[in-house]
Amino acid sequence: MKSVKKTTLQDIELIYKLWKKLNSKISSHYSRVINLPEVISENLVCILNNYEIHNSVGGSEDAISKIGQKIQIKATSNFNYDLTSFGPKSKFDILEFVRLDKSNDTFYLYRIPVSMLANLLVNKKQTFTQQQEQKRRPRFSIIKKIIIPLNIEPYAKYKIK
């Protein structure tokens, strides 16, 4: 098994700059770009919250808190829009959401109330829980369904230098 180097903020900033440059080049030739890599969003959340990145097989969590809470990390590189998907077996104690404003290279971090998810309508007829019970992947916009209606403010902002 290959050992993985611990990611630093300097690593995240370098990877971000390379990703942004690649996306710019791709967008000049093609209409779709590359999603924000998890190595950026997940490691940024872990570093800023003192979480441990979770690389082992078995759970759906992306990180573990110092007291053993399972953390799910979702992100969007489009500040105004997201379509977030959860696995049918996805279980977590904390939901972190990263929203990137590419125009000023700033990441906004939100802690989403997990208690809201169970009964959240993800389509006209089904809730998050109902979709998971049917072994389906609930998909919805965290921005439109939770952040905007609840007026949730970011708990942290990180600007790329």
> Please, which residues bridge with residue 84 across strands?
140
Q: Rounded to whole angstroms, how far apart are CA atoms 97 and 154?
A: 9
Q: What is the pTM of this model?
A: 0.93
pLDDT in tens, 15-36: 999 999 999 999 899 888 889 9
Residue 122 DSSP SS3: coil
- Average pLDDT taken over every residue of the chain: 92
Q: What average pLDDT does this structure show over 133-144?
A: 96
Paired with 107 in beta bridges are 100, 158
- The tens digit of pLDDT for each residue in 82-124 reads 999 999 999 999 999 999 999 999 999 999 999 999 999 999 9
Q: Residue 70 CB: number of other CB atoms within 10 A? A: 17
